[in-house]
Chains A and B, each alone.
Chain A
């Protein structure tokens, strides 16, 4: 594809439900990042993958959040027992390699927990 693709673009879910957010990075990019952006804030780092492995998950807020990238391409961010405070725009980015010249961002998934 032409760029990083995220689906769905919008997701409304009830408190306590489980959600999955998908990221399809630019082909050939080995590094993939997830960020969360709350209203009025800048993007906040969640987790980073190099290939299939999570190289740094220090930004995940708690164990309700989990992410996978089983084949080193598409990644899924999973949130269990969603809370209203999880409402935010979840951004995915990819780059050729860790610390590469440019991270390309997707358009984001707006998650609303009601």
Chain B
């Protein structure tokens, strides 16, 4: 069975400080990992996915299969980064469909 764990429900950092949101997963097959973000009063939206290897809004995430982790990092947090962040997993297979989400981490960036 698949499982996504986000150990921190709340995380506060000062503006300009580095931020890391932790995500660990368990899955027997080959996973695809995502980070979704929900800003205040907005809908859930994709931030990044591991196969794209992109940096979005200064955020990066590296899939570590040895540690089964997909932590989200940003070197210098901005106030506009304050939001709810969800790590999610999908099977990396043809026709794979649904996402399995973690419980989320609420990030607050203190001015």
**Which residues of A line the B interface, CB within 8 A?**
3-4, 31, 33, 35, 40-45, 48, 50, 55-56, 59, 91, 98-99, 101-108
User: Across the interface, do A105 and B45 meet the contact criterion of CB distance under 8 Å?
Assistant: yes
Provide the residues of chain B in CB contact with A3, threshold 8 Å: 43
Contacts of A98 in B (CB 8 A): 95-97
Assess whether B43 is in contact with A99, with CB atoms less than 8 Å apart: no
B residues sitting closer than 8 Å to A (CB atoms) are 4, 9, 32, 43-46, 49, 86, 88, 90, 93-104
Check if B98 sits within 8 Å of A59, measured CB to CB: yes
Please name all residues of chain B whose beta carbon is closer than 8 Å to the beta carbon of A106 when the two chains form the complex. Answer: 43
B101 pairs with A42, CB closer than 8 A: yes
**A104–B36 Cα gap in the complex (Å)?**
10
A interface majority secondary structure: loop
B38: nearest chain-A partner, CB-CB: A105
B43 touching A48, Cβ below 8 Å: no
Give Cα distance in the complex from A99 to B89, angstroms: 11
Chain A residues whose CB sits within 8 angstroms of the CB of B45 once the complex forms = 104-105
Contact A103 B86 (CB under 8 A): no
Write the nearest CB–CB distance from A111 to chain B, whole angstroms.
17
Q: In the docked arrangement, what's the CA distance between A42 and B5, Å?
A: 10
Q: In the assembled complex, how far is the CB of residue B105 from the closest CB belonging to chain A, in whole angstroms?
A: 10
B43 and A103 contact, CB distance less than 8 A: no
Whether the Cβ atoms of B86 and A56 lie closer than 8 Å is no
Please give me the residue from chain A that is nearest to B96 by CB atom: A99
CB–CB A42/B104 < 8 A: yes
User: With a CB–CB cut-off of 8 A, which chain A residues contact B104?
Assistant: 41-42
Question: Is A42 a contact of B102 with CB atoms below 8 Å?
Answer: yes
